[in-house]
A and B are shown apart, each in its own frame.
Chain A
Amino acid sequence: MEFEFLADGSAKKVVVEEKNGRFKVRHGDREFEADARRISDNELVLVIDGRSYDVLIARDKERKILFVNGREYVFRAPGEESGRSWTDDHKGPGGGLKIKAPMPGKVIKVLVAEGEAVRKNQTLIIVEAMKMENEIKASLEGSVKKVHVAAGELVDPERVLLELEAK
């Protein structure tokens, strides 16, 4: 069976076939056989060519997070928004740019008003989380199309804080 996962925004394919409790794995030009033991709902131990891999698995709605011998891998379902999308600005219709909150937090200060011209890297909004202030800066030169939040509001990462329009 072929499986596809998104890791760091790029699609990764792997083919796994089960045969007598062992798994034949193909990824790119690599092929190997894995002996897998499920220790709990969240832990697998794989033995591949005599090498042992302890794998922890956590899942939520969008992600499957694997911890393999000290390294963390975040996989998403294909078609889902790629990981860390909230750290980027999103181009909306009409060339507008939606600035989203970088993390859950509280809006401390809105430094710009609708219609105001902004320079690139100008601080637009200050969001505080965990007692640290984080400045949200303009990623382009242009003007403020719309402000969606006010000081004192709690925001989620998906929340659009304001929209910019390129010059």
Chain B
Amino acid sequence: MFKKILIANRGEIAVRVIRACREMGISPVAVYSEADRAGLHVALADEAVAIGPAPAAESYLDMDRIVKAVRDTGAEAVHPGYGFLAENADFARRLEKEGIVFIGPRSDALELVGDKVRARQTMEKAGIPVIPGMKSIPSDAAEYAKAAKSLGYPVIVKASAGGGGKGMRIVHAEADLGPALEAGRREAKSAFGDESVYLEKYLEEPRHVEFQVLADNEGRTVHLFERECSIQRRHQKIVEETPSPALDEALRRKMGETAKKAMRAAGYNNAGTVEFLLDKDRNFYFLEVNARLQVEHPVTELVTGVDLVRQQILAAASEPLALSQESLKQRGHAIECRIYAEDPAANFLPSPGRILLLREPKGPGVRLDSGIYSGWEVPIFYDPILAKLVVWAEDRELACRRMGAALNEYAVLGIHTTIGFLKDVICHPEYRAGRTNTAFIPKYFDGWAGEDKGEETMAVALAAAAIDDLALQARPRGVTRAKEEEAGPWQTLGRWRMGGAD
């Protein structure tokens, strides 16, 4: 087994991998950009290496600097997390050449599934149903228009190298195609360093159902059931759960076997996910392979009891897979809510800035994968994910209630987050009934303006604010003076005396 692993990532996922390393007796090494010197992952690792300026292209995406950090620290393997270099075949190949283990699939498998167009071709050949779309990346802009016309609008622009909604644009009419392609390319370039985009037929209101797969280096392959990820904003998942309310045993088995077949066709090893779209008539189509640990992996861990990061590390160390398909069972229900630094009342505009105060939820069946703390300044440079709140309970309804209660305890003050919005999603009758699809948020939450505050609690909040002012004024002078140096009006005396009542 490895003695030292370098984690080429940041935020909550770096923290997650650090935890797995600790449990396995492996020493975790963090890397950080200038914006992340005070990051939680840096604090929790055994060693931390500075890898450059804040922009990802000059730090987390810079292979030379990461390879140098591996060399300098003597790490034997690299865990790429998700995003950044996680699905970059050049990076995997570079590590292979340098004799460093990449904790993920082999570079050729990664290259195949990472190229969405080639992946589709491979799956089609293996007899797996795919969504109609372009079969190659054209060099000529006119080709896109032609393809869009023959697929029929609406179509969706997708980054060939991508995932996570980056570079995606839905196009309803030919006039919008040019700008959508341009924006998609720009976003794809900045997120993945590759600007290739292609078009696919856009299915309306499908469910997004994916299957987790694990494979060892000898090709033993199991699936760990599905995750339902239909609740999306900007084509990016925000709530995930397992089991999916849409599957029965027969469909689950069929899709699971198809997922394994897809991974075998791609010669895939390590952990990966096969994404499907499920239409209203319960037809499923291969969407893509996510050749990495998924953001939403914890829901699978909670219902199967399998630690996926540990399995990834074991597989990367060429250990034979110890799990059999028959041994894997789904127990209970798990839901994940993604906590993003975004303002859901303003079209999910990013909301970087300082977290003034953090209080995290606790309790039975509550898991929090988090990369933040009170006082952390959320940088503008990276994905806005702050944390993932995950709950497990005996059944779906209990899991919903547990999630609602945990969200209600969760305070991230100082920046906008998705917490209040997620509460309303979890409480929505259509969500509670399990009737979710990818159009759920645009359909039911368009123009969402914020939580209902309630006049009664407003009176309590005002009272508390006033009592807080009184308490601050009553502080011993020395304390007040010292605080005043950095303080705004909240700490200064007299500001709030309006009526001259004292």
Contacts and interface: CB of A to CB of B under 8 A. Distances in A.
Partners in one complex: yes
Interface stretch (B68-76, B115-123, B138-146, B183-191): B183-191
Interface in A10-24: 12-16, 18, 23
B496 A4 contact: yes
A167 interface: no
Chief secondary structure at chain B's binding surface: mixed
B24 interface: no
Contacts, number: 190
Interface in B432-461: 451, 453-454, 457-461
A70 B186 CA distance: 39
A25 to B, nearest CB: 4
Given A16-B466, A61-B488, A108-B186, A134 B349 contact: yes
A85 interface: no
B352 to A, nearest CB: 6
Given A27-B459, A131-B190, A44 B467 contact: yes
A21 B491 CA distance: 21
B349 A103 contact: yes
Nearest to A78: B498
- Which of A5, A46, A55, A72 has most B Cβ within 10 Å? A72
Contacts of A134: 349-350
Contacts of A15: 499, 501
B495 A77 contact: yes
Interface in A60-82: 60-62, 64-73, 75, 77-78, 80
Nearest to B502: A1
Contact of B350 (A4, A7, A129): A129
Given A65-B414, A130-B350, A42 B357 contact: yes
A126 B382 CA distance: 17
Interface string A127-146: 01111111000000000000
A25 B460 CA distance: 9
Contacts of A72: 411, 413, 420, 451
Interface in B463-502: 463-471, 487-491, 495-499, 501-502
Interface in B23-55: none
B495 A2 contact: no
A55 to B, nearest CB: 4
Nearest to A28: B459
Nearest to B345: A84
Contacts of A34: 460, 463, 467
Contacts of A103: 349-352, 380
Contact of B383 (A16, A48, A102, A131): A131
Contacts of B365: none
Interface residues of A, number: 64
B411 A67 contact: yes
A121 interface: no
**Contact-size category for B:** 35 or more
A70 B351 contact: no
B467 A36 contact: yes
A2 B463 CA distance: 11
A42 B384 CA distance: 26
B332 interface: no
A24 B384 CA distance: 43
A60 B488 contact: yes
B462 A60 contact: no
A2 to B, nearest CB: 4
Interface in B187-241: 187, 190-191, 234
A70 B408 CA distance: 4
17 contacts: A1-B496, A3-B496, A25-B462, A34-B460, A34-B463, A44-B468, A56-B357, A58-B414, A65-B413, A72-B420, A72-B451, A75-B461, A103-B349, A104-B380, A105-B350, A132-B350, A133-B187
Interface of A: 1-5, 7, 12-16, 18, 23, 25, 27-28, 30, 32, 34, 36, 38, 42, 44, 46, 48, 53, 55-62, 64-73, 75, 77-78, 80, 84, 87, 102-106, 108, 128-134, 154
Given A73-B458, A75-B461, A103-B351, 20 more contacts: A1-B496, A1-B497, A3-B462, A7-B458, A16-B470, A23-B463, A27-B459, A27-B463, A30-B459, A55-B460, A56-B411, A65-B356, A65-B414, A66-B461, A77-B490, A103-B350, A130-B350, A130-B383, A133-B186, A133-B187
